[in-house]
Structure 1
């Protein structure tokens, strides 16, 4: 036994340990897969910035590396950068970087690299506070050779190599006794740099000033593309030269007396200019030639930022809303100063506004002192005015500048001023127009002209100036005209010229002409005229022939038509023009009245029957030139209605149209004057195929419809229009398009048809599926009929027979698709119902609706109730069967069931209910009625739920009930506990019965197991009815929760569960003081073994004998419990008696 325990413990331990190792190995693999790949750094803070040093001062370090050095770029450099990024006011350093095989020219100045690298083991080397290198290979707490640290923020670079050095003070000595301030101010193209040192102790102190100009972001990068920071470019103590001689500057400090040193260097000393320049300073105990104590350090980015800015300057012209100005315009000037610094500013300064007249020439027009800026971001505004009368008339522009001066320690002088420039608007100068076409212009030819101008200022260009062009006879002063302009002005795409297109008016005489142009700018300045003399010559004009508007003449009538607006000549009067023609329709020319006489014998009609305008070709002679052209005439009849050609009409077979004839009619009186078509009478003459269409005319509307749905072809309909005196006819062509019709299905065969489950119904589809265009038999062969229930439908297309037999009750959809040989189809969906039985409704009062009327007598405690049944509807109910269940409300169980049958043909029936083993019913009893039968259609009728009666305490007061749950809901905790005790007894009996049956597949054993599950469900339900139950809150918490497990969690949970189970079993065995007393009886009598393992009698030789202690107690099991459990509020006893009705859908 001990060996078995040990083996179990060993196996569980190995399984749990191996799982844990696998999990940890996966975690470690995940951590080691992150490569150091980040290129641009830093962009965010480290995961855990180090603690500040206890001395509270700034830590200073110097770093030497190389662009190709892997540990430099991956560990040391990013760790230094991260410290400076996260703690900008607590740490500063200087980088010396070897690139292209050499260092900056520091080697020829004070040899700082050699100083740092003494005894170094190689790149990278970092020294904190000028730490004295130990003997080679050098490495100590504050003198570090090589990389180190780890990536804590996930950016791919180490960021904590020097955290411990920083937090431990960085090797700084007595920083509390010294103070240093590094100020760097941009001054034009230079940087003014000042270092102020102060001794805070007593007496005096001699210090050496370390002062270096650095690039905040170095201009050279490591080979992986990342950049170091704070790269050394110059020593201030050697005069700001990158390779100057000398060393650190010495100060003899007196306690509490600041001492300063200042330098001016070019702003481009560091790559990237002033914005990328940081000055780093430190106070040391000795010169650069020795290793020293470092007291205090700082850089020009430390400390509060002081930055005042002229953030806006608005200059508004009060006299003009556009661009530019003219001398004398009045301006409103408004400017704003903003505090961009980190703190309030109260150190003085002045805002000044100047009128800048030219280089080194400006007038002060406004000055005011700055007030206190109480916080960062606060502003001050100033306003004044400016009179432009003082501006010189010879300048192109003038400027106003707002500037703040007299500031203290402002670190960004580049934003201390703003300038607003305004251009003076001058009058433009027009240039001489240019003729692009021939200077000899035939009348009717176009003339192209280009013009431009000079704006004389910076306000306007050609797009903001508008040209005005005139044409006049050469030498004129007052005959200028714009009538010649056909198009323009349009600005050429290159913006250099405006273009005009000219065309001579008909009234313009031949001769020479001038062109002039002037320009107007947006301010309204108008230029002088620019004249192009003798720009072109307009040659003699030919006569002009104009066909429109078309005059109207009557057919076969000689008429004289005025030619005014049809014939003209610019130089020749009308009476001197000669008109001739060779046309037979030309009669004569009458120059004295300027009339043309014509005669047309017929009305021109084209091939489509449409009336055309008649044409007459003439020649006009002005004595110098001749011109030929065509005149048009509308020739009309005298009073006859006229038809325009009617467009053919069409529709599909079985269709129709309505066609309005009015738009295609016109009429005139006997003089050819238009007459209203409303007076016309429209009639139908005939139709070529009266067997295809029917046609009628109602007013002006012609209606045509097909005789039936299957005719098609072409039909001519002859129409007549008459005004009472004259008439005219026309023909309308109508096309009837043939359309294939899909077969149809007459779904009325399913009307009022209901199906009985298991009963077959056949339908003859002859005459149900029909096709007007093809044979019905062919349509039946192509058609498809299906339903969702497999095997429920058989369609024999060749026989035209449809057979349906549903095996499942409910609604069923029959899908029908009728198809012809052209694949045209119709689709139908018919919903039918299949029933296995219908509800049977009982009534307890004659006024109620129901199928059976049930009345009861003597339903009181101590009585024997009598129920009377009678038919109450016309459904023809017969074969009526029923049952009564007698139940105890207090115990929640039904203790008797009595079945009965009502003989057919009787008008009424009486049934007495007397409980078995009792002479009467008790006050605690409840009677439940179930009833079923068959109606006249052979369909089963059954009650959907039981009907209840409660036994009353009075003979005159029987109490029906339909809500048994309400009784149990009102049980007290004591009553519930009593029921629970009874349930525990039943469970004990069931367990014994289950254990006595060896075969796990035995139906009786399975039934007992189901009964046991039902009793457990009932026990849980009763527990929830107690007043102290928390079932609702528990259920709510479960429903409100959701869990997500990954596969690793599930695996671990499974092993832990296994371990708990095994250990629990071990503890159970181990907890006994002695080994168990084994039962040496025959195996079939070993109750423990049989109850634990489900029975073992059949696997032993000795067969089990009958024993009274194992006799089976039969308890009705009821139907199986569904996966969702029994209905809410039900008891297990109710489920045993009513569960099957619930599953059959008879109870809800």
Structure 2
């Protein structure tokens, strides 16, 4: 071989090898795209990087991942922002889309557009950017933890050379703002002051659940004098520059429990350029960051020399308050602590105390000021007086919210007396008493019925001879918390008091001994004459035909006259005499046609000397005697038995029995038998005999009354009867409230419910009108009212509310509780299972990757009749935490019986078009929230978003069911037809390459699908049009391969002609040719024709050799075919096409044959 030929061969080889090395170098030096994973939640507090860090956050109320981003920024600020527990060098600003007003008007500086226009913006929210980064690590998206970004420096540049301080102080209706920029480096620097007014806590909340408040929400820019951009300043070392603004306090709203003044937060940062581009951020701060000048008053107390928490006019009160330095700077600017009191809006100064120097160091001394006031000159008609301490004449104080303290002190006024009344009958029998209800009004906020007492006095009518010695009681409070509230006093007339009318007077005494005027009631009660009382029980036993004296003690009584002074007479033939000295009545029941056995009565009259002309006769009554024959069992009088309501008792009868035989000799009573003959009132008291014991019990807990039980004792020959009275002691029962259907129920907020309690209120032992329901108490103040017996409920707070009711008759009380579940909206339930549960059943189909899901949904039979149903579909990604689409609309309720279907073509949230034009991606999910109103006007809404998550790629056609493969083939054919139409119209070569690659991929997928016998595919004739599109590529590929073969031939020629150098001609291995790779053949249409061309065809191609370096330089297939021992796996292969690795290819195949694939595309006409 000539030297020229060998040189040419060597040059071609060097050119070929250089192409390979340059391609490999380009591939190896590609910038890797880091994959950022969501940070794990950090439990510990963030560590300061040692300089300020500033972030900008973009989010919206409807965005679920924005909740996380906002909460984590707020948490980081809590530990490392203004007033933070770790440091004060982090702040941020929020550009937040409100549910009420939408996105804020950021003109003339639209930072949202600035953030969205950055190279790092990938669509979607939330976005958090540190240090105005355009892209990269500090340009973040998705909800995550931001501690690591802060700890790693937060993209702040040259922070050691700059500082910014923000001061704000209220000035009337405005907030004066001062921002100072400082530079400590060399030379001079011009910086721009990025500054804005924000709401530290927005009063609005995120939608959904949970729904936290956003923070640091932008409200207004602080601009240059022209209002066109940020203020710029030129800094030199040691010469800070200060800029000032004055902004209306109304710029921000109250929020987070703070007033607008305390919710006013100014945020500032220093940039090395204006706002029109991304700049370096060199420092940042806000008005919460120190040092601060803050002087405040605290610890106000008002003490009374009398030791009470209220005052009576004339008392001396002492006011005391502390003035402390609550900031970070020493205070030396003077001013005073002023004590005062208010009468309405008028403020009267009491005294002032000068404020000394107050140091900021911990443990420094502070001012404790005092003042005294004689309350004699305070108004007498007020119920309370507001005393206060305030700071006046301060200079430089940053916050006025803690400069005033006020404390209300109640005025202890003279009480009032109300008209007393008698409870029960106003006619008092002898030996009885009158119950007087003394009532009063404290006439202030100091005393209550518990701290008030009453003086009660009695006088004979019209005589003004007042006496309190017969008055007792006052311990019991009756009718508490009602208009009739008062204390119970007992008036017990003495036996020496004359019968007739009596006057009563009452006055109120409060806790300080102040007394009201007397309230006098004339003829309040009448003291009646005591009538003698005649009682038959216990019935004494007398023997037939024998005169017997029976003691009348317990049978005849008079409240005013001793028994021995009474005169007892009778017209009965059985009456013998009244023996007053022994208090015995003598009777006889003579033998007449047989002895009159059994109980016999004698009517007697009793004269106590009283005037009974009004009735025309003396008091009278009947005495009973148990007449027995000698030898009969004898009964002693059985005492009256008294039991409580619901109670029981037992009486041993043998102790009241005796017996004799015919000769009068005693007989053992255990031989007697006893039986019950009659029970006069079995509905009230039940009786039974247990041997010789009489048992009895009340029928139930509510019955009252008495019964007379007739008993018979028998000795087998004779018997005798006796009666016993059993009486129920009435116990007052508290009124009862029927709680049926009202113990627990649900109620919507701000919807009134009325319950008629009068119809549910009963009292078994009190007449109608003498019992009532007290004012209700509720866990939500003011939500329960009682009006004319109706309980009116109206709640504003969501949750479980307890309403407490009490019923009383003045003596006994019952308490009840009503549990109300207060809700804003009734939960709306979405069911994924068609089992009749929930309100709306939703079936979501086509949820594989690349598919567009479709939903079929219908109301369940258990759903109420809805008049409005609003559905909100969202499209988000579970992994990234971003939401890209939202779609809200009202359903056509005329189709509520048939249901609805909807394809999930959800509009994008960031412009025109769909959120997913190419179908679902891995871990995408469709979210559904529902709001509805039924025909009763009741609101419903879902408490959480129902999700359908895409987790699976489309299966292989052989694994698809019939319906899915039918859809799959139809979708491929439709997309192929669309691409062919675009190819026919496209004139851009880059577009043609991309479209060809996509078309080739789709045809490959269609071929695989059509191999399934179930697939409904077009015939080969119909498919030829798409295959023709690739014919042009085959020619280019043939040319490329021929070029490669030429290079290989040249190499072979060079080696054969250089045997003296030791080179051995490689052996041809036909099995290593690419056309034997069946997989690759199937991917790009076959290589047999490319690699089995006749050798003679190479010569005509030599004319196109100049084009070979452009087309064939990056080809790596030829060296692999010629020299199999070379390290094949090392090259990374050509760059992947825009659509990624073609379907069905492996990376190994792409390394060998990828360049041929690209060349065919690039040479497509």
**Greater RCO structure (CA 8 Å; 6+ sep):** 2
- Fold match, TM over 0.5? no
Q: TM-score range by the shorter chain?
A: 0.3 to 0.5
Which protein shows a greater Rg? 1
TM-score normalised per structure 2: 0.41
TM superposition score normalised by structure 1 = 0.42
